[in-house]
Amino acid sequence: MESATPTIGHTQSPKVLKDGNGALIFDSIMMRNASQIPKEFLWPSNDLIITADEELNEPLVDLSVLKSEDHTAIAHAAQLVREACVKHGFFQVTNHGVDQELIDAAYQEVDTIFGLPLERKLAARRQPGAVSGYSGAHADRYSSKLPWKECFSFKYAHIDHSHSQILHYFTSLFGQDLRRSGIVYQKYCDAMKELSFAIMELLAISLGLDRLYFKTFFEDGESIMRCNSYPPCNNSSLTLGTGPHSDPTSLTVLHQDQVGGLEVYLDNKWFAVRPRPDAFVINIGDTFMALSNGKYKSCLHRALVNREVERKSLVYFVNPKEDKTVKPTKKLCSSDEERKYPDFTWSDLYEFTQKHYRADVSTLQGFIPWFIAGKPSNY
Protein backbone atom coordinates (compact mmCIF):
# COMPACT_ATOMS: atom_id res chain seq x y z
CA MET A 1 0.00 0.00 0.00
CA GLU A 2 1.13 3.54 -0.66
CA SER A 3 2.36 5.62 2.24
CA ALA A 4 1.31 9.02 0.97
CA THR A 5 0.56 11.46 3.77
CA PRO A 6 -2.48 13.77 3.52
CA THR A 7 -1.73 17.45 3.14
CA ILE A 8 -2.84 19.72 5.95
CA GLY A 9 -3.08 23.41 6.47
CA HIS A 10 -0.07 23.82 8.74
CA THR A 11 3.60 23.05 8.43
CA GLN A 12 4.47 22.31 12.02
CA SER A 13 2.92 19.62 14.21
CA PRO A 14 1.83 20.74 17.70
CA LYS A 15 3.89 19.62 20.65
CA VAL A 16 2.93 16.40 22.38
CA LEU A 17 3.78 14.91 25.75
CA LYS A 18 6.42 12.16 25.80
CA ASP A 19 7.36 9.69 28.51
CA GLY A 20 10.88 8.77 29.64
CA ASN A 21 11.23 6.32 26.77
CA GLY A 22 10.21 8.88 24.15
CA ALA A 23 6.77 7.36 23.60
CA LEU A 24 3.87 9.73 23.01
CA ILE A 25 1.45 10.25 25.90
CA PHE A 26 -2.17 10.47 24.76
CA ASP A 27 -3.75 13.16 26.91
CA SER A 28 -7.37 12.91 25.73
CA ILE A 29 -8.40 16.25 27.23
CA MET A 30 -5.54 18.11 25.57
CA MET A 31 -6.00 16.25 22.28
CA ARG A 32 -9.72 16.87 21.94
CA ASN A 33 -9.16 20.60 22.37
CA ALA A 34 -6.23 20.82 19.97
CA SER A 35 -6.81 22.84 16.80
CA GLN A 36 -4.11 20.88 14.96
CA ILE A 37 -3.36 17.19 14.87
CA PRO A 38 0.09 15.85 15.85
CA LYS A 39 1.91 14.23 12.94
CA GLU A 40 2.00 10.88 14.75
CA PHE A 41 -1.77 10.59 14.19
CA LEU A 42 -1.79 11.29 10.45
CA TRP A 43 -2.83 8.34 8.27
CA PRO A 44 -2.00 7.68 4.60
CA SER A 45 -4.55 8.96 2.13
CA ASN A 46 -5.35 5.47 0.85
CA ASP A 47 -6.46 4.47 4.37
CA LEU A 48 -8.67 7.57 4.57
CA ILE A 49 -10.81 6.75 1.53
CA ILE A 50 -14.28 8.26 1.85
CA THR A 51 -17.11 5.99 2.96
CA ALA A 52 -19.64 4.79 0.38
CA ASP A 53 -23.04 6.49 0.43
CA GLU A 54 -24.91 3.33 1.41
CA GLU A 55 -24.69 1.34 4.64
CA LEU A 56 -23.56 -2.27 4.84
CA ASN A 57 -26.49 -4.61 4.31
CA GLU A 58 -25.40 -7.20 6.86
CA PRO A 59 -27.92 -9.74 8.21
CA LEU A 60 -29.62 -9.36 11.58
CA VAL A 61 -29.71 -12.83 13.08
CA ASP A 62 -32.27 -13.73 15.75
CA LEU A 63 -30.34 -15.78 18.31
CA SER A 64 -33.45 -16.79 20.24
CA VAL A 65 -34.17 -19.50 17.65
CA LEU A 66 -31.34 -21.58 19.17
CA LYS A 67 -33.50 -22.17 22.24
CA SER A 68 -36.45 -23.31 20.17
CA GLU A 69 -37.27 -26.61 18.55
CA ASP A 70 -37.99 -24.83 15.28
CA HIS A 71 -35.43 -26.53 13.04
CA THR A 72 -36.56 -24.51 10.02
CA ALA A 73 -35.88 -21.22 11.84
CA ILE A 74 -32.49 -22.48 13.05
CA ALA A 75 -31.55 -23.55 9.54
CA HIS A 76 -32.57 -20.13 8.20
CA ALA A 77 -30.44 -18.34 10.82
CA ALA A 78 -27.48 -20.58 9.99
CA GLN A 79 -27.90 -19.84 6.30
CA LEU A 80 -27.83 -16.09 6.97
CA VAL A 81 -24.63 -16.54 8.95
CA ARG A 82 -23.05 -18.70 6.26
CA GLU A 83 -23.82 -16.24 3.45
CA ALA A 84 -22.41 -13.32 5.48
CA CYS A 85 -19.27 -15.17 6.55
CA VAL A 86 -18.49 -16.36 3.04
CA LYS A 87 -18.95 -12.82 1.71
CA HIS A 88 -17.35 -10.56 4.32
CA GLY A 89 -17.32 -12.23 7.75
CA PHE A 90 -19.72 -9.82 9.45
CA PHE A 91 -23.25 -9.93 10.90
CA GLN A 92 -25.27 -8.69 13.87
CA VAL A 93 -27.31 -10.63 16.42
CA THR A 94 -30.53 -9.65 18.18
CA ASN A 95 -32.52 -11.31 20.97
CA HIS A 96 -29.16 -12.25 22.42
CA GLY A 97 -30.22 -12.49 26.06
CA VAL A 98 -27.78 -9.91 27.44
CA ASP A 99 -29.49 -7.59 29.89
CA GLN A 100 -29.61 -3.99 28.64
CA GLU A 101 -28.96 -2.73 32.17
CA LEU A 102 -25.69 -4.68 32.20
CA ILE A 103 -24.67 -3.14 28.85
CA ASP A 104 -25.51 0.33 30.17
CA ALA A 105 -23.51 -0.33 33.33
CA ALA A 106 -20.51 -1.44 31.26
CA TYR A 107 -20.60 1.85 29.36
CA GLN A 108 -20.79 3.78 32.64
CA GLU A 109 -17.59 2.08 33.74
CA VAL A 110 -15.92 3.07 30.47
CA ASP A 111 -16.48 6.64 31.62
CA THR A 112 -15.08 5.77 35.05
CA ILE A 113 -11.88 4.25 33.65
CA PHE A 114 -11.05 6.89 31.07
CA GLY A 115 -12.17 9.67 33.39
CA LEU A 116 -9.34 8.84 35.79
CA PRO A 117 -6.52 11.39 36.08
CA LEU A 118 -3.86 10.88 33.42
CA GLU A 119 -1.22 9.81 35.95
CA ARG A 120 -3.45 7.00 37.25
CA LYS A 121 -4.10 5.72 33.75
CA LEU A 122 -0.39 5.80 32.95
CA ALA A 123 0.34 3.88 36.13
CA ALA A 124 -1.94 1.14 34.79
CA ARG A 125 -0.26 0.96 31.37
CA ARG A 126 0.16 -2.48 29.88
CA GLN A 127 3.65 -3.93 29.98
CA PRO A 128 5.63 -4.70 26.77
CA GLY A 129 4.24 -7.82 25.10
CA ALA A 130 1.22 -7.93 27.41
CA VAL A 131 -2.47 -7.49 26.66
CA SER A 132 -3.86 -6.29 29.96
CA GLY A 133 -3.77 -2.67 31.02
CA TYR A 134 -4.23 0.86 29.72
CA SER A 135 -3.04 2.01 26.32
CA GLY A 136 -3.15 5.55 24.95
CA ALA A 137 -3.18 5.40 21.14
CA HIS A 138 -1.00 2.25 21.23
CA ALA A 139 1.93 4.68 21.48
CA ASP A 140 3.78 2.14 23.61
CA ARG A 141 4.17 0.03 20.46
CA TYR A 142 4.05 2.40 17.51
CA SER A 143 5.27 5.90 16.64
CA SER A 144 3.27 6.65 13.49
CA LYS A 145 -0.27 6.10 12.18
CA LEU A 146 -1.43 6.14 15.77
CA PRO A 147 -5.12 5.43 16.40
CA TRP A 148 -7.06 8.29 17.97
CA LYS A 149 -8.29 6.35 20.99
CA GLU A 150 -7.71 5.10 24.50
CA CYS A 151 -8.07 1.40 25.38
CA PHE A 152 -8.25 -0.62 28.54
CA SER A 153 -7.92 -4.39 28.11
CA PHE A 154 -7.89 -7.45 30.34
CA LYS A 155 -7.94 -11.22 29.97
CA TYR A 156 -10.89 -13.45 30.84
CA ALA A 157 -10.39 -17.20 31.35
CA HIS A 158 -13.41 -19.24 30.21
CA ILE A 159 -12.88 -21.64 33.12
CA ASP A 160 -12.58 -19.80 36.43
CA HIS A 161 -13.67 -21.48 39.63
CA SER A 162 -13.28 -18.29 41.65
CA HIS A 163 -15.88 -16.41 39.56
CA SER A 164 -14.09 -13.20 40.50
CA GLN A 165 -11.04 -13.01 38.23
CA ILE A 166 -11.95 -9.63 36.75
CA LEU A 167 -12.83 -8.13 40.12
CA HIS A 168 -9.46 -9.30 41.44
CA TYR A 169 -7.65 -7.74 38.46
CA PHE A 170 -9.32 -4.36 38.94
CA THR A 171 -8.77 -4.21 42.69
CA SER A 172 -5.14 -5.32 42.35
CA LEU A 173 -4.53 -2.57 39.79
CA PHE A 174 -6.66 0.28 41.13
CA GLY A 175 -7.46 -0.68 44.71
CA GLN A 176 -11.04 -0.40 45.96
CA ASP A 177 -11.73 2.77 43.93
CA LEU A 178 -12.74 0.72 40.87
CA ARG A 179 -14.27 -2.22 42.69
CA ARG A 180 -17.61 -1.54 41.02
CA SER A 181 -15.91 -1.62 37.61
CA GLY A 182 -14.50 -5.04 38.42
CA ILE A 183 -17.91 -6.34 39.49
CA VAL A 184 -19.62 -4.99 36.38
CA TYR A 185 -17.03 -6.36 33.95
CA GLN A 186 -16.99 -9.74 35.69
CA LYS A 187 -20.73 -10.00 34.98
CA TYR A 188 -20.31 -8.59 31.48
CA CYS A 189 -17.56 -11.08 30.54
CA ASP A 190 -19.62 -13.94 31.94
CA ALA A 191 -22.46 -12.83 29.67
CA MET A 192 -20.11 -12.46 26.70
CA LYS A 193 -18.84 -16.01 27.20
CA GLU A 194 -22.37 -17.39 27.04
CA LEU A 195 -23.24 -15.23 24.04
CA SER A 196 -20.09 -16.20 22.15
CA PHE A 197 -20.72 -19.89 22.82
CA ALA A 198 -24.23 -19.54 21.38
CA ILE A 199 -22.77 -17.90 18.27
CA MET A 200 -20.23 -20.72 18.04
CA GLU A 201 -23.13 -23.18 17.95
CA LEU A 202 -24.69 -21.30 15.07
CA LEU A 203 -21.36 -21.13 13.24
CA ALA A 204 -20.94 -24.89 13.61
CA ILE A 205 -24.43 -25.54 12.24
CA SER A 206 -23.73 -23.17 9.33
CA LEU A 207 -20.63 -25.19 8.40
CA GLY A 208 -22.44 -28.53 8.63
CA LEU A 209 -20.63 -29.59 11.81
CA ASP A 210 -21.87 -30.95 15.10
CA ARG A 211 -23.61 -28.13 16.92
CA LEU A 212 -21.20 -28.23 19.88
CA TYR A 213 -17.97 -28.60 17.87
CA PHE A 214 -16.67 -25.02 18.23
CA LYS A 215 -18.16 -24.51 21.70
CA THR A 216 -16.13 -27.50 22.87
CA PHE A 217 -13.01 -26.21 21.11
CA PHE A 218 -13.20 -22.84 22.87
CA GLU A 219 -14.58 -23.87 26.26
CA ASP A 220 -11.15 -23.82 27.97
CA GLY A 221 -9.93 -20.71 26.14
CA GLU A 222 -8.98 -17.24 27.33
CA SER A 223 -10.65 -14.24 25.76
CA ILE A 224 -9.74 -10.54 25.85
CA MET A 225 -12.11 -7.80 26.94
CA ARG A 226 -11.40 -4.27 25.72
CA CYS A 227 -13.02 -0.92 26.48
CA ASN A 228 -12.50 1.75 23.82
CA SER A 229 -12.89 5.51 23.98
CA TYR A 230 -12.50 7.59 20.82
CA PRO A 231 -12.35 11.29 21.84
CA PRO A 232 -13.67 13.90 19.40
CA CYS A 233 -11.07 15.29 17.02
CA ASN A 234 -11.08 18.66 15.30
CA ASN A 235 -9.20 17.11 12.36
CA SER A 236 -11.17 13.85 12.20
CA SER A 237 -10.76 13.58 8.41
CA LEU A 238 -6.98 13.18 8.79
CA THR A 239 -6.86 10.36 11.32
CA LEU A 240 -8.58 7.09 12.27
CA GLY A 241 -9.82 5.62 15.51
CA THR A 242 -8.69 2.21 14.31
CA GLY A 243 -6.89 1.61 11.03
CA PRO A 244 -7.92 -0.96 8.40
CA HIS A 245 -7.30 -4.46 9.75
CA SER A 246 -8.75 -7.86 10.39
CA ASP A 247 -8.71 -9.19 13.95
CA PRO A 248 -6.08 -11.90 14.51
CA THR A 249 -8.34 -13.45 17.16
CA SER A 250 -11.13 -15.96 16.46
CA LEU A 251 -14.40 -14.13 16.94
CA THR A 252 -15.20 -10.54 17.91
CA VAL A 253 -18.36 -9.66 19.84
CA LEU A 254 -18.77 -5.88 19.87
CA HIS A 255 -21.32 -3.43 21.19
CA GLN A 256 -21.00 0.11 19.87
CA ASP A 257 -22.76 3.20 21.11
CA GLN A 258 -25.02 5.29 18.89
CA VAL A 259 -22.32 7.66 17.60
CA GLY A 260 -21.31 5.40 14.70
CA GLY A 261 -17.96 5.08 12.97
CA LEU A 262 -17.48 1.34 12.45
CA GLU A 263 -16.99 0.45 8.77
CA VAL A 264 -16.52 -2.76 6.78
CA TYR A 265 -14.62 -3.09 3.49
CA LEU A 266 -16.46 -4.88 0.69
CA ASP A 267 -16.26 -4.70 -3.10
CA ASN A 268 -13.55 -2.03 -2.94
CA LYS A 269 -15.71 0.28 -0.81
CA TRP A 270 -16.02 1.20 2.85
CA PHE A 271 -19.56 0.69 4.15
CA ALA A 272 -20.81 2.20 7.40
CA VAL A 273 -22.32 -0.14 9.98
CA ARG A 274 -25.49 1.28 11.49
CA PRO A 275 -25.36 1.27 15.31
CA ARG A 276 -28.18 -0.82 16.78
CA PRO A 277 -28.68 -0.55 20.56
CA ASP A 278 -30.42 -3.93 20.70
CA ALA A 279 -27.76 -5.81 18.72
CA PHE A 280 -24.20 -7.07 19.02
CA VAL A 281 -21.81 -6.83 16.09
CA ILE A 282 -20.09 -10.12 15.24
CA ASN A 283 -17.09 -10.50 12.98
CA ILE A 284 -14.86 -13.41 12.01
CA GLY A 285 -11.15 -13.15 12.88
CA ASP A 286 -8.03 -14.68 11.35
CA THR A 287 -7.89 -17.64 13.74
CA PHE A 288 -11.44 -18.71 12.91
CA MET A 289 -10.73 -18.24 9.22
CA ALA A 290 -7.94 -20.81 9.64
CA LEU A 291 -10.27 -23.11 11.60
CA SER A 292 -12.70 -23.03 8.67
CA ASN A 293 -9.86 -23.64 6.17
CA GLY A 294 -10.56 -20.27 4.60
CA LYS A 295 -14.25 -20.92 3.97
CA TYR A 296 -15.23 -18.01 6.21
CA LYS A 297 -13.56 -14.63 5.70
CA SER A 298 -11.82 -12.61 8.35
CA CYS A 299 -13.59 -9.24 8.30
CA LEU A 300 -11.64 -6.16 7.15
CA HIS A 301 -12.85 -3.14 9.10
CA ARG A 302 -11.86 0.25 10.50
CA ALA A 303 -13.25 2.88 12.91
CA LEU A 304 -13.66 6.57 12.15
CA VAL A 305 -13.41 9.43 14.63
CA ASN A 306 -16.21 11.91 15.21
CA ARG A 307 -15.48 15.64 15.11
CA GLU A 308 -18.03 16.58 17.76
CA VAL A 309 -18.58 13.75 20.23
CA GLU A 310 -16.80 10.84 21.87
CA ARG A 311 -17.45 7.33 20.56
CA LYS A 312 -17.35 4.30 22.86
CA SER A 313 -17.37 0.56 22.28
CA LEU A 314 -17.15 -2.67 24.25
CA VAL A 315 -15.21 -5.47 22.55
CA TYR A 316 -14.86 -9.13 23.51
CA PHE A 317 -12.27 -11.09 21.52
CA VAL A 318 -12.75 -14.87 21.69
CA ASN A 319 -9.59 -17.02 21.72
CA PRO A 320 -8.84 -20.71 22.20
CA LYS A 321 -6.46 -21.98 24.86
CA GLU A 322 -2.97 -20.70 24.05
CA ASP A 323 -1.43 -24.13 23.34
CA LYS A 324 -4.39 -25.63 21.49
CA THR A 325 -3.63 -26.52 17.88
CA VAL A 326 -5.59 -24.45 15.36
CA LYS A 327 -6.52 -26.64 12.40
CA PRO A 328 -9.74 -27.34 10.53
CA THR A 329 -11.65 -30.55 11.11
CA LYS A 330 -11.37 -33.08 8.30
CA LYS A 331 -15.02 -32.46 7.50
CA LEU A 332 -14.01 -29.00 6.21
CA CYS A 333 -11.22 -30.36 4.02
CA SER A 334 -12.39 -32.46 1.10
CA SER A 335 -10.06 -35.00 -0.47
CA ASP A 336 -9.29 -32.71 -3.41
CA GLU A 337 -8.98 -29.54 -1.32
CA GLU A 338 -5.63 -28.35 -0.03
CA ARG A 339 -5.12 -27.06 3.47
CA LYS A 340 -4.95 -23.26 3.31
CA TYR A 341 -2.89 -22.82 6.49
CA PRO A 342 -0.43 -24.91 8.53
CA ASP A 343 -1.25 -26.10 12.04
CA PHE A 344 -0.40 -23.43 14.61
CA THR A 345 -1.39 -22.35 18.10
CA TRP A 346 -3.04 -19.12 19.21
CA SER A 347 0.11 -18.30 21.19
CA ASP A 348 2.10 -18.47 17.92
CA LEU A 349 -0.14 -15.95 16.17
CA TYR A 350 -0.36 -13.77 19.26
CA GLU A 351 3.45 -13.64 19.51
CA PHE A 352 3.67 -12.63 15.85
CA THR A 353 1.20 -9.75 16.24
CA GLN A 354 2.73 -8.51 19.50
CA LYS A 355 6.41 -8.65 18.59
CA HIS A 356 6.80 -8.72 14.82
CA TYR A 357 3.76 -7.42 12.94
CA ARG A 358 1.14 -4.70 13.23
CA ALA A 359 -2.26 -6.27 12.50
CA ASP A 360 -3.65 -5.21 9.14
CA VAL A 361 -5.42 -6.73 6.15
CA SER A 362 -2.63 -9.28 5.58
CA THR A 363 -1.78 -10.48 9.08
CA LEU A 364 -2.36 -14.18 8.47
CA GLN A 365 -0.55 -14.08 5.12
CA GLY A 366 2.43 -12.46 6.84
CA PHE A 367 2.31 -14.90 9.74
CA ILE A 368 2.64 -18.09 7.67
CA PRO A 369 6.17 -17.54 6.24
CA TRP A 370 7.41 -16.37 9.68
CA PHE A 371 5.92 -19.46 11.32
CA ILE A 372 7.25 -21.87 8.69
CA ALA A 373 10.71 -20.28 9.01
CA GLY A 374 10.78 -21.27 12.68
CA LYS A 375 9.53 -17.99 14.19
CA PRO A 376 12.80 -16.02 13.87
CA SER A 377 13.22 -13.29 16.46
CA ASN A 378 14.77 -10.86 13.96
CA TYR A 379 11.84 -11.06 11.51
* 93-151 confidence digits (pLDDT tens): 999 999 999 999 999 999 999 999 999 999 999 988 889 999 999 988 999 999 999 99
Phi, psi (deg, nearest 5) at residue 289:
-60, -40
Q: Supply the residues annotated as catalytic.
A: 311
> Does 53 have pLDDT greater than 50?
yes
pLDDT band at residue 13, thresholds of 50, 70 and 90? low
Q: What is the 3-state secondary structure (H, E, C) of the chain?
A: CCCCCCCCCCCCCCCCEECCCCCEECCHHHHHCCCCCCHHHCCCHHHCCCCCCCECCCCEEEHHHHHCCCHHHHHHHHHHHHHHHHHCCEEEEECCCCCHHHHHHHHHHHHHHHCCCHHHHHHCECCCCCCCEEEECCCCCCCCCCCCCEEEEEEEECCCCCCCHHHHHHHHHHHHHHHHHHHHHHHHHHHHHHHHHHHHHHHHHHCCCCCCHHHHHHCCCEEEEEEEEECCCCCHHHCCCEEEECCCCCEEEEEECCCCCEEEEECCEEEECCCCCCCEEEEECHHHHHHCCCCCCCCCEEECCCCCCCEEEEEEEECCCCCCEECCCHHHCCCCCCCCCCCEEHHHHHHHHHHCCCCCCCHHHHHHHHHHCCCCCCC
Q: What is the pLDDT of residue 10?
A: 40
Q: How much is the pLDDT for 5? A: 38
pLDDT tens sequence across 280-312: 999 999 999 999 999 999 999 999 999 999 999
- pLDDT for 4: 38
Inform me whether the pLDDT recorded for 9 exceeds 80: no
pLDDT bin (cut points 50, 70, 90) of residue 6 is: very low
Q: Can you name the CATH fold of 52-369?
A: Jelly Rolls (2.60.120)
Whether 235 contacts 43, CB under 8 Å: no
Instruction: Look at 18 and 84; give whichever has higher pLDDT.
Output: 84
Q: What pLDDT was estimated at residue 14?
A: 62
CA dihedral 192, 350, 135, 285 (to 10 degrees): -50
Report whether pLDDT(220) > 50: yes
Domain borders along the chain are: 52-369
Mean pLDDT check: name the lowest of 12-26, 197-211, 225-239, 260-274. Answer: 12-26
pTM attached to this predicted model = 0.94
